[in-house]
Amino acid sequence: MWVALLKIVSLENLKTVGIVLAILAAVWFFKDYQFQKSENHRQSENAEQLRKYDSLKYATQTYSKDELAEFLEYQRQDLNDFLKKEDIKIKRIERIITQRLEYRDTNTRTNDLQKVLEAIKENKRIEVPVVDSTKCLVVRGIVRFENDSLVLDLTDRQFNNTTDVITHWERNQWKLLGIPTRLFGRKKVTVTIRDDCGKSKTFVIDTKSKNRR
């Protein structure tokens, strides 16, 4: 009798364990399905944004931390070097906004160089191309002397700049036994802006927890 009872109890336990395992498996498969569905949607959205980038001049991309690290290493080495220089960890980055500005002015402006004419001894026609170039701005033109007139024609002006807006978090500095440290300091959200031209400015947004009543 006791042996039969133990067999029944053991059988019930096995059924219970089996039901629990089945439920856990179902939950795991459902969560995995949701994750794969979300990943497929993200990858499709990334591809669609890149496809429209040339026409819309705007695109958003959602990267995992590993994908972001790979992107920075192989496609934005300049930004990757900047992040290392500023000690901004990839795992702390929340958003990067990159703006590329290309400016070109093809309107011709004539500058009268009549005063320089006095220094010219020979009276003959001449054209000399000139280029004024910096990291961000390139100006091209032609100095022209003809019919007793000396002028400078500016024919091409190009301005190029790249701006990176990096939103990330860091810890406030505090003193531990009189020694400045950021260990266990309060987290704060900050934005770092990098420009190829000009100077960058950073403003800080502190996160505030909801007050309890």
pLDDT attached to residue 18: 66
Show the tokens assigned to 68: 């972001």
Q: Fill in the amino acid letter for 99.
A: Q
The DSSP code sequence of 35-96 is HHHHHHHHHHHHHHHHHHHHHHS-------HHHHHHHHHHT-HHHHHHHHHTT--GGGEEEE
pLDDT attached to residue 204: 52
Which SS3 state, helix, strand or coil, does residue 22 take? helix
pLDDT attached to residue 63: 85
Torsion of CA 180, 183, 185, 189, to 10 degrees: 110
**Short-list 180, 172, 206, CA closest to 191:** 206
Question: Which pTM was predicted?
Answer: 0.60
Whether 176 and 154 have beta carbons less than 8 Å apart is answered as no
CA 79 to chain centre: 8
Distance (Å, whole) CA 64 – CA 114: 62
Structural domain boundaries in the chain? 103-159
Q: How would you write the pLDDT of the chain (213 residues) with one tens digit per residue?
A: 544 544 554 656 666 766 766 677 777 776 776 767 777 877 787 788 778 777 767 777 888 888 888 888 998 899 899 999 988 888 888 888 887 777 777 878 777 777 777 777 777 888 888 888 887 888 999 888 888 788 888 999 888 888 888 888 777 777 766 777 766 667 776 777 788 887 666 555 553 444 433
* First CA to last CA distance, the chain: 63
For tokens 């690290």, the residue is: 69
pLDDT attached to residue 107: 78
Phi, psi at 60, each rounded to 5°:
-120, 140
